[in-house]
Structure 1
Amino acid sequence: MHGYVQRIKEKELHNALSRSPAVAILGPRQSGKSTTAKMLLKDIPSVYLDLQDRVDRNKLSEPELFFDRYRDKVICLDEIQLLPEFFSILRSEIDKDRKPGRFLILGSASRDLIKQSTESLAGRIAYIDLTPFIVNEVANISIWSDIWLRGGFPESALAENDMDSFDWRLDFIRTFMERDIPNLGFNIPVQIIERLWLLLAHYHGQTVNYHKLAAAADISIPTLKKYLGILEQTYMVRLLPPAETNLKKRLIKSPKIYLRDSGILHALLDIEAYDSLLANPVAGASWEGFVIENIITEYDRWKPSFVRTSNGAEIDLILE
């Protein structure tokens, strides 16, 4: 049994709570947001509400009374994307009392996906992404090859064995398609998102050919771009843009696509064990994506991109 794993974003979170009325921790479901928030607040007077829980949601039926009752505590609201209309209420409350660290909100969607809801909080909220584990966070309790195979989701990375980890990831994929996507308000048939996700696993590390990918998925190019946007905004895929450069050489203009978590990639490709991974043709692209994701997560204030010329010369990752 593993104890709490310290996250590289903890110092940044403490600093944000000390200066901003509201702090949002955003990241994919099961990436450790709730655990990190509870550890962050364990020595701070606070109250925690899980908005997936009906009883907790009902406590906010009269928000002004609730806020007055807990005015001297940090109010932590988990799964905030389920109540997008609540952001305007938060704005009114913060404008009454702008002291730092009033609200800690957790969401399983990116700031772009909830941007319309959070526009009313401009200047009042700090955003911090908390992704699954990277190698440096678990170096003392796990070896890098396990994290590459299993990915960084805590329950997968720290499972007792590879089979338990693999089963957890299959359940995660199924739940994401059947529950999480609809809960975010998107009406996408499960069969289509499943087919697209599997296709993306085979395209991992390649530049995006929208015509070819849309044809393979049996959807239109606008629909493909819409679905890719949803997967990107829910932290499942990364569209790495080509670098903006003044070089006169002919450069590839399309983004490269990666499944952000190597463990999810391997589950989609039915790769259960490390030996099977090394023997699989996808190993090189998988390793490339794994390293890139670790670097971008560690240095997330830098703008990532890549360069590839039409004759095949390439720089996999540029940080500016």
Structure 2
Amino acid sequence: MKIKRQILPDLLERLSNPEILILMGARQVGKTFLLNELEKYCIKKKKKTKYFNLELPEDSRYFAKDIVALYEEITHEVDYLFIDEFQYFNNASKFLKAIYDDKRLKIKVIASGSSSLEMHKHLKESLAGRKQTRLIRPLSYLEFNQTKEKFSKYLQSGGNPGLVNQKSFESKIELLKEILQTYIMKDIKALIKEENISAFNNLLYNLASSQGQIISTNSLALELKVSNITVESYLDILEQTYVLYKVPSFAGNLSNELKKSKKYYLYDLGVRNAILNDFSSFEKRIDKGAILETYLLHFLISNCPQNGEIRFWRTRSGDEIDFVFLKNRKPYILEAKSKLTKLEIPKPFHTFIKNYPGLQGAYVVNLNLEGTLDYKGLTVNFIKYENLELDDEFKSIFKNDQ
């Protein structure tokens, strides 16, 4: 089955722009599929294309030749040049810059990469003003729902597109473990010392098991028996390889708000389950709250406009709200619930609403209930998780308006 990706129309539209188009994202999120779809579109339009995957030995060897000879060969009789996993190309910046700046060529370059660390290493010359970057994420539930699978199955296996065509649950588990091992053995080994792989694995497990909790690098360093600097470098690697999302705290009017704390979330629920080695059904999980909170974050990240930010809120007295979405610095608050049995406004909402009169909206996302309650002139909305993608009124708050 072929899933229709929501981002594809946007990418097709960008084919007519002169800027280099770079697709970034974690492994197995569908970057190669999207490159193939873009190339098919170009061929259908009678355009000349060339496609290279630098993870393939023959293509990697081809790109290792003298850059002048490579440039002359590749730019001959081509309209659209596709380079998959271009972070392995040592002369990437010089090469791409030369193609873009040579206006006689009129060649559009579309590239993909899995590591911004590797990309920045090889993009020694700035491509500012010459490139457009799009982050490719795992399947949203709306995309996954094309398979007609239940929402609980999405929470169990996650959104890696390759899972769609796996016939059995066992083959899905095998693929998720393979994705995890490929990431550790291929990407991470190239970035950290081999003797520290064990500490890195332990960090991954710790992050997966404490997902949604405030993380202290000092505590992690003590537990892993490494330095604070090492922990911070590992967290940076996880972020730069698109495997980890960092959510900082929100603070404004109150003296007892946490101001420098952070929470971390893995990019995919299935990969998190592979790290924990727990593939039990959602109904049997004891960490339902963390799973649903992560799902809500993934939705927010996928829909966050350029003028938006995602944070969390917590006070030293214990009030906490899972997410504060800021658009043009104006807040909306969102809470993920796993055990809601009646429409009831969370107590931390009372504190936040009282102290932030500029609050734009409040949402309680849960499994079963929908409706509204009013509190001090503000409407608190209750929405089911599986309806987030379908609620046009809710999704309108993420529009990139003025």
Taking structure 1 as the reference length, the TM-score comes to 0.90
The equivalences for 1:237-276 within 5 A come to: 237-243=244-250, 245-252=251-258, 253-274=260-281
Q: CA deviation at 1:5?
A: 1.1
How many angstroms does 1:316 deviate by?
Answer: 1.6
1:282 aligns with 2:287: yes
- What residue is the counterpart of 1:150 in the other structure? 157
Q: Are 2:158 and 2:268, in contact at CA under 8 Å, matched by a contact in 1?
A: yes
Judged with a 3 Å threshold, the aligned counterparts in structure 2 of structure 1 residues 239 and 69 are, in CA distance, closer, same or farther, namely same
CA shift at 1:290, angstroms?
1.6
Contact 1:20 / 1:126 at 8 angstroms: preserved in 2? no
TM-superposed CA distance for 1:98, in Å, is 7.9
Relative distance call for 1:98 and 1:148 in structure 2 (3 A) is farther
Cross-structure match for 2:356: none
* Match among 214, 217, 229 for residue 224 of structure 2: 217
> Over residues 266-294 of structure 1, what are the superposed CA-to-partner deviations in whole Å (9 max), with x where a residue is unaligned?
122222231xx433332211210122112
- Is 1:76 the counterpart of 2:79? The answer is no
Query: What amino acid is aligned across from residue 95 of structure 2 in structure 1?
Result: I
- In the alignment, is the contact (CA less than 8 A) between 1:242 and 1:305 conserved in 2? yes
Distance, in Å, in 2 between the alignment partners of 1:300 and 1:269 is 32
Q: Deviations over 1:191-233 (max 9, x none)?
A: 1221111111111111111111111112111100000110111
Instruction: Find the counterpart in structure 1 of residue 234 from structure 2.
Output: 227
Following the alignment from structure 2 to structure 1, what is the Cα–Cα distance between the partners of residues 271 and 172?
10
CA pair 98-303 structure 1, distance change in 2 beyond 3 A: farther
Cα separation, 2, equivalents of 1:78 and 1:279: 40
Structure 1: 5+ residue stretches without partners: none
Shift of 1:101: 6.1
Does residue 132 of structure 1 match 2:138? yes
Could you tell which deviates more after superposition, 121-130 or 92-101? 92-101
Give 1:193's aligned residue: 200
- 1:305 corresponding residue in structure 2: 311
C-alpha change, 1:143 and 1:101, in structure 2 (3 Å) is: farther
Query: What's 1:293 paired with?
Result: 298
Task: Supply the AA of the counterpart residue of 2:52.
Answer: L
Is 1:48 aligned to residue 51 of structure 2? yes
Letter in 2 for 1:180: D
For residues 105 and 157 of structure 2, the distance between their equivalents in structure 1, rounded to whole angstroms, comes to: 42
| 1:88 equivalent in alignment to 2:94 | yes
Q: Is the 8 A contact 2:79 2:108 kept in 1?
A: yes
Aligned length: 312
After superposition, give the CA deviation of every residue in 1:111-169 in whole Å (9 maximum; x if it has no partner). x6633544521110000000111101122213221111101111235422322211211
Residue 16 (structure 1) aligned to one of 4, 14, 17: 14
Q: Is the 8 A contact 1:21 1:99 kept in 2?
A: no
- 1:157–1:224: structure 2 CA closer, same or farther, 3 Å change rule? farther
The structure carrying a bigger strand percent of its residues is 2
1:207 aligns with 2:214: yes
Give 1:111-122 correspondences, 5 Å limit. 114-115=119-120, 117-118=122-123, 119-122=125-128
Q: Whole-Å Cα distance in 2 between the matches of residues 163 and 300 of structure 1?
A: 37
The separation in 2 between residues aligned to 1:273 and 1:82, in whole angstroms, is 37
In structure 1, the residue matched to 2:398 is: none
Deviations 1:299-318 (A, max 9, x none): 35332112111222222222
Sequence identity, in percent? Answer: 24
The letter for the 1-side match of 2:183 is F
Alignment partners' CA distance in 1, 2:205 and 2:305: 27
Write the deviation string for residues 220-270 of structure 1: whole angstroms up to 9, x where unpaired. Answer: 111000001101111111111112x42124122211111121111112222
**Equivalent residue letter for 1:42:** K
Distance 1:19 1:155, change over 3 A: same
Distance in 2 between the 1:79 and 1:307 partners?
Answer: 38
Residue 57 of structure 1, aligned match among 53, 56, 60: 60
Change (3 A) 1:292 1:99: farther
Is 1:173 equivalent to 2:180 in the alignment? yes
Aligned to 1:36: 34
Could you say which structure has the larger radius of gyration? 2
Give the CA RMSD over aligned residues: 2.0
Deviation at 1:108, TM superposition (A): 0.5
